[in-house]
């Protein structure tokens, strides 16, 4: 049986999803239930999840799905209590689902940090509009430097990278050089060599043997904060 606060929170989430298609934020839930901190919201969410009333949608920001809702009581007169709590199992089609408009992807650090990408795994995450990402697994890198400015990639931008270990000529890739330094450059083959081209006339192309370069992803999009 749900506590009063659990019931209030579930109703608030359900109503907000029905109205907007997007889950309320933890701050909004805290204010709606007149709680002192968001830790109380976390406890209520966990309890509802354990009891099968809601579930969290993976890799999405602010994404909750209501699986079932308790029967709401509207009459002032007490009704005979059933032997077990009555649950309305609403058909799946009528339950609102959080809009898939924002995804959380790993943010691995600055592309010119001088470390392999693997050394930066799991540092933090970045909320990204789903429309900027296609199929596949993605991560983000903060761009450092001006070597790609003529491609519209500026210092401080966030490069959205689709994980892959292959690339075609002319694609912008994350290249790991000698397993030590990651760089964002145009990828090209030049005879028996691999050439990494900057997009800035002030910088020269870099040439390496194929065994020195490991492609770790292709540029899929860009986010700039003003």
The tokens of 148 are what? Answer: 């790609």
All domains of the chain, ordered by start, with CATH? 4-94 (1.10.10.10), 102-223 (2.10.109.10)
Nearest to 197 by CA among 137, 151, 132: 151
How would you class 84 by CB atoms within 10 Å of its CB: exposed for 0-12, middle for 13-18, buried for 19 or more? Answer: exposed
pLDDT at 178: 86
Instruction: Give the single-character DSSP code of 179.
Output: T
Residue with the larger pLDDT of the pair 100 and 129: 129
What rounded mean pLDDT belongs to the chain? 77
| SS3 call for 66 | strand
pLDDT in tens, 162-189: 999 999 999 999 998 888 788 899 999 9
**Burial (CB count <10 Å: 0-12, 13-18, 19+), residue 37:** exposed
Is the overall model pTM greater than 0.85, yes or no? no
* 185 has catalytic annotation: yes
Model confidence at 51, in pLDDT bands (50, 70, 90)?
confident
Query: Would residue 38 show up in a list of annotated catalytic residues for this protein?
Result: no
pLDDT score of 87: 37
Closest alpha carbon to 45 in 89, 9, 12: 9
Which whole number is the average pLDDT over 194-210? 93
End-to-end Cα, the chain, rounded Å = 48
- Confidence bin at 218 (pLDDT 50/70/90): very high
Measured CA to CA, the distance from residue 217 to residue 119 in angstroms comes to: 15
Q: Which of 38, 39, 127, 185 is catalytic?
A: 185
């Amino acid at each position: 049986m749900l506590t009063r606060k659990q019931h209030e929170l579930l109703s608030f989430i359900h109503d907000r999803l029905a109205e907007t298609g997007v889950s309320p934020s933890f701050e909004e839930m805290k204010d709606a239930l007149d709680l002192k901190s968001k830790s109380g919201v976390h406890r209520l969410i966990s309890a509802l999840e354990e009891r099968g009333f809601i579930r969290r949608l993976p890799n999405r920001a602010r994404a909750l799905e209501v699986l079932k809702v308790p029967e709401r009581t509207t009459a002032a007169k007490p009704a005979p209590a059933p032997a077990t709590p009555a649950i309305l199992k609403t058909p799946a089609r009528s339950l609102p689902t959080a809009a898939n408009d924002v995804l959380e992807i790993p943010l691995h650090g600055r592309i010119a940090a001088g470390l392999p990408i693997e050394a930066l795994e799991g540092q933090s995450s970045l909320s990204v509009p789903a429309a900027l990402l296609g199929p596949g697994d993605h991560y983000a890198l903060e761009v450092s430097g001006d070597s790609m400015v003529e491609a519209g990639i500026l210092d401080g931008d966030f490069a959205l990278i689709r994980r892959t270990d292959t690339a075609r000529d002319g694609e912008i890739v994350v290249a790991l050089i000698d397993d030590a330094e990651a760089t964002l450059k145009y990828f090209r083959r030049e005879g028996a060599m691999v050439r990494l081209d900057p997009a800035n006339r002030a910088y020269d192309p870099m040439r390496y043997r194929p065994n020195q370069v490991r492609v770790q992803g292709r540029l899929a999009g860009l986010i700039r904060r003003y």
